[in-house]
Amino acid sequence: MMPPDMPFLTRRQGVLHVEELALPELAQAFGTPCHVYSHAALCANLRAFQAALGAHPAGARARVCYAVKANSNLAILNLFARMGAGFDIVSGGELARVLAAGGDAGKVVFSGVGKRRAEIHAALVAKILCFNVESAAELERINEIAGTLGKRAPISLRVNPDVDPQTHPYIATGLKRAKFGVPIDAALALYEHAARLPHIRVEGVDCHIGSQLLDCAPFMEALERLLVLLDALEKRGIPIRHLDLGGGLGVAYRQDEVAPEISACLAPLLDRVADRNLDLIFEPGRRLTAQAGLLLTRVEYLKPGDGVNFAIVDAAMNDLLRPALYGAWHEIVAVAPKTGTPTAIYDVVGPICESGDFLGQKRALAIEPDDLLAILSTGAYGMAMSSQYNTRPRAVEIMVRGNEAHVIRQREEAADLYALERLLPTRATPVPLAGSTPDTDKNVASHAQMC
C-alpha cells in the first residue's frame, strides 16, 4: 500500500528505494529513526506549483511563499530559495532560518497572531515584503515600532472570511470563532484606520482558511468574500496591491483520498482576478513537502496483546506527532518484506509512556523484530513538530539526491538535550535576575536554601 504522489519511492526486488538508494542501506549508514526526504520530489512539488501559476496569464503576477512551519530545515529552505520561492513565516526564529538559508527577506510575509516586539523589529530591519496583521492591537504595535525606526511598515490584514474548509477542527482557521485574523465585517473599519496611521503602508489583503483541504471550493468562496472587501476598499480610496490567499492545499495521505490538482485549484482563482490589477501570493506548506518525506523506523518488539497486537518501533510521537494529535493517518509499509512472514494486524506504537503514542492503528503488516518500516508522507509537520519528550534525541534528517545521501540535520545526542540545563549551586549564591530588585534576589536565594 502506497499513497499516490510519491513517485520517488519505488520497490526494487522487493526493497523500498528513495530515488536510487535502498532504505536498508540508509538505515545501516545513519541509524533509525530517520527522516528521509527526496530532493527530486521537493523540486518537483515546487515546480508543479510554479508551473500551474506560469500556465495562466494572471500567474505571472503570483508569488509562492512557502510556509516555513511545514518543514523548516535549512537545506529545504535553501533549495526553495534557489528555486525562487519566497517564504511565509510565523516567528522571529523562522525569519532567522530563512535568512540563514539564503532566503530573500523581500519575499517574506509574516503571519501569526502573537508577533512580539522584537520579532516585529527584526522583520522591519530585514525589510520583509509584508506583515499579515491579525488584530487591531498588533496593527498599533507595528505602527509604533515602525515609527521608532522611521519606517512605514507594509501590511495586509489577515481577514477571516468565515468559510468552512471542511478539515480537521484543529487546522481549520477561517471560521468565525477561530483565534486567527480579523472578522471580515470588521475589516473595512480597521483598514480605514490603518490607512491613517503614519507608519503603516496598506499593501494587501490576506487570508488563510485552513490546512489539508481536499476540495477547492472553499478557496473560491473565500476569494469571493475578499473581492467584495477589495471593492469596498477601492471605493474608499484604499487601493490594494496584492491578495494573499494563504496555504492549505491538501495531499492524499490514504489510498482512498484524492488530492486536488494544483492547477485545477488555482486556475479558477486566477481566472477570477485576471482583470484586476493585483499581485497574488500563495503560502503552500504541506503540498510542497509532505509527499517528499518518510520516516524510517525499525521494529524493536512484537507484542501480542488482548485483542490487539503491538509492533513497538523505535520512532514515536516525538518524531511524528500527527497521529497522536489529530488522529492523522500515515501509510505504513514494510521496507523489505520477507516471504513467509505471516501478516497480522498491528497497532504500530513507539516507546513513549503515553497511550496516545501510536503511529498507526490496525495495520496489516508482515513483519518480524528488526524489520524496517517506512511511515509515509511525513515531509510536512513531521520533524517540524518533533520534540524531545522522554529525552529522546531528535532523529537524523537525510536528503537523498539521486544516488547521494546527505545528512541535513545530525541526530541529536542525549547530552545535546540537557546541554543548556544547569544544576543549582549547593550553597545558594544569588543570581541577579535581569531587572530584578535586590529583594527578589534574596527571595530566590532563601527559597533555594529552604528546599
Catalytic residue positions, numbered: 353
Nearer to ligand LLP, 128 or 380 (CB): 380
Asked if 287 interacts with ligand LLP (CB under 6 A), we say yes
Write down the least CB distance from residue 373 to ligand LLP, Å: 20
Q: Give the shortest CB-341-to-ligand LLP separation in angstroms.
A: 32
Shortest spacing between CB 178 and ligand LLP, in angstroms: 11
How many chain residues are in contact with ligand LLP, going by CB under 6 A?
21
Minimum CB separation of residue 159 from ligand LLP in Å reads: 12
Instruction: Single out the residue of 63, 107, 242, 286 in contact with ligand LLP (rule: CB under 6 A).
Output: 286
439 — phi, psi (to 5°)?
-60, -45
Q: What x/- string results for residues 20 through 59 when contact with ligand LLP is judged by CB under 6 A?
A: ----------------------------------------
User: Is residue 265 a contact point for ligand LLP (CB under 6 A)?
Assistant: no
Answer yes or no whether residue 246 interacts with ligand LLP by CB under 6 A: yes
Alpha carbon distance 85, 65 (integer Å): 6
Map residues 313-352 to x or -, x wherever contact with ligand LLP holds by CB under 6 A: ---------x------------------------------
Site map (CB under 6 A) of ligand LLP, residues 59-78, x = contact: --------x--x--------
Provide the phi-psi class of 325: left if phi over 0, else alpha when psi is between -120 and 50, else beta.
alpha
Q: Candidates 76-84, 137-145, 378-386, 405-413: pick the segment binding ligand LLP (CB under 6 A).
A: 378-386
Given 32, 212, 291, 386, the residue binding ligand LLP (CB under 6 A): 212
Binding residue (CB under 6 A) for ligand LLP from 165, 247, 260, 379? 247
The footprint of ligand LLP on residues 408-427 (CB under 6 A) is none
Apex CA 12: angle with CA 6 and CA 37, to 5°? 35
The verdict on 284 binding ligand LLP (CB under 6 A) reads yes
Among positions 72, 156, 211, 318, the unique one binding ligand LLP when judged by CB under 6 A? 211
As a three-state string, the secondary structure of 27-92 is: HHHHCCCEEEEEHHHHHHHHHHHHHHHHCCHHHHHEEEEEEHHHCCCHHHHHHHHHCCCEEEECCH
Please identify, among the stretches 233-241, 261-269, 292-300, 377-385, the one whose residues bind ligand LLP according to the rule CB under 6 A: 377-385
Location of C-alpha cell 520534540: 387
Q: How far is CA 205 from CA 131, 171, 191, 192, in A?
A: 10, 21, 10, 13
Over the range 285-310, which residues count as b (16 or more CB within 10 Å of their CB) and which as e?
Answer: bbbbbbbbbbbbbbbeebeeeeeebe
Binding site for ligand LLP (CB under 6 A): 67, 70, 88, 111, 171, 208, 211-212, 246-249, 283-287, 322, 380-381, 385
